[in-house]
Amino acid sequence: MELLYFPGCTLKTSAKNFEDSALTVASKLGLELRELPRWNCCGTVYSLAADDLMHQLAPVRNLVRVQELNRDKLVTLCSMCYNTLKRASRLVRRNSEKLETINMFMDEEQSYEGRVEVFHFLQTLRDEVGFKKISEKVVKPLKDLKIFPYYGCLLVRPEEEAIDDPNDPTVMNDLLKSLGAEVIDNSFKTVCCGSYLTVDKKEVVAEMTYKILSAAVKDGAEAVTLSCPLCHFNLDFRQAEVAEKHPEFKRIPVFYFTQLMALAFGLNPEVCRFNLHFVDPKPLLRGKGFI
Amino acid sequence: MRGALLETGEETRRTINNFLSRLLQEKMVDAILAPIETSTGLVTPGFVTNPEKTHIIDVLAPVIPGVAMATVVSQITHEKPVEKRLGVILKPCDIRALVELVKFQQVNLENIYLIGVDCYGTYPVIKYKEILEKGNLPVENVFEALNKGGETEFRDSCKVCLNPVPIYSDLCIGYIGIEKGKLFIEARTEKGEEFLRKLGFKLLELKERNRAVAEILRERETKREKYFGEAEKELNGMEGINSFFEDCIACHNCMEVCPICFCKECFFDSDRYSYVNQNYLEWNPLEGTVPMLQAKVQFHVGRAVHMASSCVHCGLCEQACPQDIALYKLFGLIARNIQRIFNYTPGRSVEEKPPVQEFKEEELKEFIG
Amino acid sequence: MIKVNERIGVFICHCGLNIAGTVNVEKVAEEISKCKGVVHAEHYIFMCSDPGQEKVRQTIKEKKLDGVIVAACSPDLHEHTFRSAAASAGLNPYRVEIANIREWVAWPHEGKGEEATEKAIKIIDAAIEKLRDNMALLPVEVPVTKKVLVIGGGIAGIQAALDCADAGLDVYLVERGQSIGGKMAQLSETFPTLDCPQCIETPKMTAVAQHPKIHLYAYSEIEDVNGYVGNFKVKIKRKPTFVDWDKCTGCRECMKVCPVKVPSEYERGIADRKAIYISFPQAVPNKAVIDAENCIRMKYGKGCGLCAKNCPSKAITFEGNGSIEEVKVGAIIVATGFDVMGVNSFGEYGYGKYKDVLDALQFERLLAPAGPTSGKVLRPSDGREPKEVVFVQCVGSRDPDNWHPYCSKICCMYIAKQAMLYKHAVPDGQAYVFYIDIRADGKGYEEFVHRAMTEDGVIYLRGKVGKIVEEGDKLRVYGVDTLTGRNVVIDADLVVLATAVEPSKGIDDLARKLRIQLDQDGWLSEAHLKLRPLESLTSGIFIAGAAQYIKDITDTVSQASGAAAKAIALLSRDKLEKEPIVATVDEEVCVGCGNCVSICTYNAVELDPELKVARVNEGLCEGCGACAATCPSGAIQLINNTKKQIFEMITALTRRD
Amino acid sequence: MEIKVSLKKVKSPLVRKVTEISDEKIYSCYQCGKCSAGCPFADQMDLLPNQVIRFVQLGMEEVLDCKTIWVCSACFTCRVGCPKGIDIANLNEALRLLHLRRNQDHLKLGKLPREELLKLPQIALISSLRKYTA
């Protein structure tokens, strides 16, 4: 099965490990993630202002790209891309007046008709592939690996765009279980890491990282998994600041969920590009015999 | 308060009796109920209808033998009011008892004129008889005896009495604060004033009398506090009360003479009250001895509860006790304390309701919280 | 006193773990079974349950019991249950006694099992002593007058009267004002449906006037009440109207010519009425009265008389002293409603001093389409339309230190309504509400307040107003918004105070006549706040509406129908059975001191003037026992609670063994 | 400090503009405070989120100077919890836009250390620029 896939900026650069592992894992599951031709920036963060349509052009233009291929589905890996595209698609579907204005702005494009549905890859795994099928592909169960699934904000909030229960999402828990890992669940899984505050208020983000990770570690987690390159940066890179401020803090590796799938499927660990991580996951993986 | 000042010289008793004769002569009253002299020199309540016979009346006799005059008035007016106009001579405590009995519907004051008499105090009957036997005490000598400190032999209740002057009557025969050889007959009501005017008296006011009364009260209040203070210590608790009544023979004389004990049949003498005497056998066998006190003490405590709010502190209970138990010490104390709690003064006015006839939401806060 | 062949059964209830968790019920049963006369003692988990009651019934029959003790909860709860059970097994119900070992023992002594068990035994022991002398009694029967008196002609009285009358009872409806209708008739619209009272109350008022079973006594007061449940005698005083109501047609020609203007009670003083008046256009009865205090002719006995000259039906007499009529009723419903606090209060707000500081009832009249301004919101001072209106809630309510401790309950809602109606009348104006918290606990109420906030933009400020000062033609309101923690100043054109609601004036006097109780705030006391809220403590007297405690219209009407149902149920019987636990007098012993007469709250004791002994009216006696306590000779006693029984109980409780 | 509340204030540009930009019913808020209670960044804020709305409700312009609107990461925890369906994050965005639309940028990337800039992923840079600059 072929799926149109929207990578977004970061997956082509610092989150290449996310993309590579995802593409490989997908093909193992019989899915072909076909990159959306001529995709542009998703808009990064959804613009909330009711009077601001300019910022909706970028996401809608991507939807036009899908429409041009006579397709009506678009899959993303990055949580933020998912949120922005999804909300934009819903906005214009609900509000024909706004859609008309946007279409007028984009006179060089064909008019968007509002049919494209945006999905996150986790939804595809859950709803189309199924965890049963995934577990069948597992050759190296992640036995004894205690993982804290971190959802953050944009997969589950606002509730209209959530891919799962906004207060107690379980999709990644279930995925981890199908990979044979032990799930460490706590209520910090949906607490915001600080997102873009990381640029001018990195101390705030470091503090959130500390709160989230130390709670997970306290509950026994050895690693974290997530689906957002910004969360990844915050929870991974900012551990250096955390350790500086809290000497007792023990660093733990942060994985994209697709990396863990690749490991469990027994794929070449190269696709995981562990060199892009700030906290090196290899000692943990080696210790458990996964690489 | 206005009244008539009478010259008595050495003839106080005769002056009073002449005054009473004139009430009969002028047909202001048909009869006078007063203490009259008995052959032994004591006094007893009696009627005088003949103005010629008033010499037998002895209103100043410092003694109350038998029951209170209030009880006598109750006996003659309880069924129906007297038909003749009756002048009644009463001591201050008697009047207060009478007022209480009015509230309990035991006395009907219709056709009754109250003539109160000042009272320094009274001797125990036995003591009074002794004095009579020794010196045949004429009235004038009573005052002299008092001046020489004779009142140390008064009954305890009189020594601490706060009402030497009647607080409620039509007329009041007063000697306290009046110079020797004179008497002041005070009109307390319009009726009283009418009597004095009809008899042709010139009415005047005497303020120095109030001062003399105030002085007596000051002295007696101190004595009274001391007396009850000691009593409180002595009688404290059930133990104290039990031993207080050890020698009681349950004759119920105290009840018989009490003007406030007006029941037809005392609850404690009736079959409505029952205490199984066999119960004594079950009481505290560990200590080995059990005096059969309970029924006796229950009678006294019960009687105290019934009469304490209206007790007029006449002390007749104590005088009547054949066992010489100082009953006033206990009953007076209970009465004083209860009357304080309810802010009630028995005998003050017929309009004031006794505590047992009234429920006030704000009362007894310190007990019921 | 042990009687020969006494056969007492004792039933001890566990009440689940309520009793058995603390009291050793087995031991209690064992000890009690040793008591003299006790032939049966058992314990069971729930005595009040059907199987529990069945045990009692069975044992009475099998062991031929002549007395039953149930050791369980307060007699308030299940005395009736067990007496009925015993009666169905052929035992006289008054041969059943309850020993309260739950409220008296298990609950207060939780965790002290041994002592509690001992105390339970003593209490049961005492109950047995009492039971020995309990007489088998038959209920006292009293006849019933199938008529109802309703006091107060507001919406509560109207509803109660209509319900009773529809059930076929004769109803006397007494209203002290000129017209029925009460406070509801003064309202602009009602929350949360915004119905106008003219649309929903006036039809009911007309129904009252036309109902063949309702005898309306308007402009009348209760003079005196005697008697007892089923048999009340009530004197109703018709106040002099100085107008012959048989002739008056309600044409209002008199009002047109009367030269005297006085502040109208109906308009709450913001408009005038005449000295001869009918309160409002829809008044029932539609008959004029003369206010003698203000009428020139009545004051001086001569002059004026313009109304009489103008009266087409020659109805105006200037004469009459009113009249007193006596009616007999079986039940009474008190629906005297409420008043709102008047102008002698709240100096800090300039209430009564500044013309543009109104109370909420006055503002109702300003909003009312049929009010003095025809529904236009205009300031009393200069007739200008106010553009900024401040509403202040909890004025005098929830203020135990200065005024009333209670919540006036209706203000949150009517202020939301008034603010909303104001915004509808003045769309470019602004309404502000100072509140402590918002209590909107009825159907559709929360949504209604939400609507005022969201759709009508009423600004709610959480806090009280400290003071109001007149500044030019503005009222400067000094308040606080505790949410921002800042003091707030608003220059308002008009201020509306939600002044506290109080019991209707004169309720204390009426309560005395009815021999019913008031609570500490002056509202009528109900028999039980939770379970008997419609009844007073005097049987046959019911409470409806705000007289019990302030209510909105929904609750008032519900309660009025409830009170009516109570009265209808009571009067559906031909004879009433009354508890036979009443006082009796031993005439041989009674000395006629009158203590009992004086102390009886129910006027149930009288002195026989001939024999000088006390007599008890069993119909009136509620069995409270106050007379027995005050009688020195024990001549008056309460049946089955004699002094002897009490002595025996005390003996049992104090016995040392 | 005392505030003056008036018709003029309530109809002030602040209330009007915030309503226009956010399309939120700000007077719907009944100040339960759940937004503040759930906010993971509340301890970094000078005004709690519920206070921000309160200030807007009363037309208090000083709300524009608060730190809170720049600390909000638009994580929508408040929005998910709000019993009245108000998007507080959206309100904060409106307040930010009132600055940004006057070309008052909050973020000057040039002031960040170069090595930090090199580490930051695009997603972080672009999103913060979108939120903090005109």
Structure tokens at B117: 């008499």
Domain positions in chain B are 2-226, 237-368
Domain positions in chain C are 8-137, 147-239+322-337+504-570, 253-310, 339-502, 579-639
Q: How far is B303 from chain C (nearest CA, A)?
A: 8
Torsion sign (Cα): C450, C451, C455, C457: negative
Q: Which long-range contacts (CB under 8 A, 24 or more apart) does A63-66 make?
A: A63/A88, A63/A89, A63/A112, A63/A116, A63/A118, A64/A106, A64/A109, A64/A110, A64/A112, A65/A36, A65/A37, A65/A38, A65/A39, A66/A4, A66/A36, A66/A116
Fold of C339-502: FAD/NAD(P)-binding domain (3.50.50)
For residue D124, pLDDT beyond 80: yes
Chains A and D touch (3+ CB pairs under 8 A): yes
Torsion sign (Cα): C108, C112, C117, C119: negative
Read off the pLDDT band of B369 (50, 70, 90): low
Structure tokens at C115: 């002592």
Assess C483–D contact: CB distance below 8 Å, yes or no. yes
Q: Which chain C residues contact residue D27 at CB under 8 A?
A: 453-454, 457-459
Centre a 10 Å sphere on the Cβ of residue B146 and count the other Cβ atoms it contains: 14
Selection from C646, C536, C547, C548 nearest residue C601 by Cα: C536
For residue B138, pLDDT beyond 70: no
- Spell out where chain A has E strands: 2-6, 32-35, 73-76, 117-120, 146-149, 182-183, 223-226, 254-256
Q: Kindly determine whether residue D6 and residue C462, on different chains, have CB atoms separated by under 8 Å.
A: no
Q: How far is D84 from chain C (nearest CA, A)?
A: 10
Assess B362–C contact: CB distance below 8 Å, yes or no. no
Q: Kindly determine whether residue B273 and residue C592, on different chains, have CB atoms separated by under 8 Å.
A: no
Which pLDDT tens digit goes with each residue over C576-609? 888 899 999 999 999 999 999 999 988 899 999 8
Q: How far is B145 from chain C (nearest CA, A)?
A: 42
- Region D53-67: mean pLDDT is 93
Q: pLDDT truncated to tens, each residue of chain A (291 aa)?
A: 899 999 999 999 999 999 999 999 999 999 999 999 999 999 989 999 999 899 999 999 999 999 999 999 999 999 999 999 999 999 999 999 999 999 999 888 899 999 999 999 999 999 999 999 999 999 999 999 999 999 999 999 999 999 999 999 999 999 999 999 999 999 999 999 999 999 999 999 999 999 999 999 999 999 999 999 999 999 999 999 999 999 999 999 999 999 999 999 999 999 999 999 999 999 999 999 888
Read off the pLDDT band of C517 (50, 70, 90): very high
Q: Residue C163: left (phi > 0), alpha (psi -120 to 50), or beta?
A: alpha
Centre a 10 Å sphere on the Cβ of residue C437 and count the other Cβ atoms it contains: 10
Q: Kindly determine whether residue B267 and residue C593, on different chains, have CB atoms separated by under 8 Å.
A: no
- Residue identified by tokens 């001895």 is B289
Among the ranges given (B284-288, C17-21, C44-48), the one the predictor scored with the smallest mean pLDDT: B284-288
- Region B137-160: mean pLDDT is 73
By Cβ distance, the residue of B262, B270, B282 closest to C655 is B282
- Measured CB to CB, residues of chain D less than 8 Å from chain A are 20-23, 40-41, 44, 71, 73-77, 79-80, 87, 89-90, 93-94, 97, 106-107, 109, 112, 116, 119-128, 130-132
Q: Kindly determine whether residue D28 and residue C453, on different chains, have CB atoms separated by under 8 Å.
A: yes
Buried b (16+ CB within 10 A) or exposed e, C102-113: bebbbeebeeee
Q: Are strands C494-499 and A146-149 parallel, antiparallel or unpaired?
A: unpaired
Say what the pLDDT of residue C656 is: 60
Q: Which one is predicted more confidently, B274 or B121? A: B121
- At residue B116, the 3 state secondary structure works out as strand
DSSP assignments along D13-77, one per residue: HHHHHHHHHH---GGG-----HHHHH-TTGGG-SS-HHHHHHHHHTT-GGGGG-SHHHH-----H
Assess C50–B contact: CB distance below 8 Å, yes or no. no
Say what the pLDDT of residue C43 is: 97
By Cβ distance, the residue of A8, A192, A196 closest to D40 is A192
For residue C1, pLDDT beyond 60: no
Say what the pLDDT of residue C302 is: 87
Q: How far is Cα C642 from Cα C584, in angstroms, rounded to an integer? A: 10
Assess B106–C contact: CB distance below 8 Å, yes or no. yes
- Region B119-133: mean pLDDT is 88
| Residues β-bridged to residue A254 | A224
**Residue among A56, A197, A212 with most chain D CBs within 10 A, to mutate:** A197
DSSP assignments along C76-127, one per residue: HHHHHHHHHHHHHTT--GGGEEEEE-IIIIITTTTT-HHHHHHHHHHHHHHH
Structure tokens at A12: 């082509």
Q: Which CATH superfamily is domain C147-239+322-337+504-570 in?
A: FAD/NAD(P)-binding domain (3.50.50.60)
> A touches which chains (3+ CB pairs under 8 A)?
D
For residue C647, pLDDT beyond 60: yes
User: What is chain C's mean pLDDT, rounded?
Assistant: 94
Which CATH number is C8-137 given?
3.40.50
CB pairs under 8 A between B and C: 78
By Cβ distance, the residue of D20, D106, D121 closest to A229 is D121
Say what the pLDDT of residue C655 is: 72
Read off the pLDDT band of C475 (50, 70, 90): very high
Selection from C546, C459, C547, C467 nearest residue C507 by Cα: C547
Q: How far is Cα C643 from Cα C629, in angstroms, rounded to an integer? A: 9
Looking at residue B269, what DSSP letter applies?
A: G
Q: Kindly determine whether residue D5 and residue C429, on different chains, have CB atoms separated by under 8 Å.
A: no
Angstrom CA distances, B115 to B16, B20, B170, C294, stand at 11, 10, 6, 54
Q: Kindly determine whether residue C633 and residue B358, on different chains, have CB atoms separated by under 8 Å.
A: no
> D touches which chains (3+ CB pairs under 8 A)?
A, C
Selection from C272, C273, C274, C282 nearest residue C370 by Cα: C282
For residue C2, pLDDT beyond 60: no
Selection from C359, C383, C297, C345 nearest residue C498 by Cα: C359
Say what the pLDDT of residue D128 is: 93
Say what the pLDDT of residue B276 is: 66
Say what the pLDDT of residue B9 is: 83
- Spell out where chain B has E strands: 2-7, 31-37, 43-48, 86-90, 112-117, 171-174, 182-187, 204-205
- Residue identified by tokens 């470019």 is C428
User: Which of these CATH numbers, 2.30.110.10, 3.30.70.20, 3.40.50.150, 3.40.50.720, describes C579-639?
Assistant: 3.30.70.20
Q: How far is Cα B277 from Cα D87, in angstroms, rounded to an integer? A: 86
Q: Kindly determine whether residue C632 and residue B263, on different chains, have CB atoms separated by under 8 Å.
A: yes
CA dihedral C112, C114, C118, C123 (to 10 degrees): 30
Phi, psi of D14 (to 5 degrees): -60, -55
- Cβ atoms of B155 and B315 within 8 Å: the answer is yes
For residue B19, pLDDT beyond 80: yes
By Cβ distance, the residue of A45, A201, A202 closest to D127 is A45
Assess B356–C contact: CB distance below 8 Å, yes or no. yes
Q: Which chain A residues contact residue D106 at CB under 8 A?
A: 200
Looking at residue A111, what DSSP letter applies?
A: P
Q: How far is Cα B190 from Cα B185, in angstroms, rounded to an integer? A: 14
Q: Let me know how many helices (H) and strands (E) chain B has, helices first.
A: 15, 8
Q: Which chain B residues contact residue C586 at CB under 8 A?
A: 272
Selection from C77, C178, C590, A233 nearest residue D122 by Cα: A233
Say what the pLDDT of residue B251 is: 92
Percent of residues, chain C, with pLDDT higher than 70: 99
Centre a 10 Å sphere on the Cβ of residue B277 and count the other Cβ atoms it contains: 10
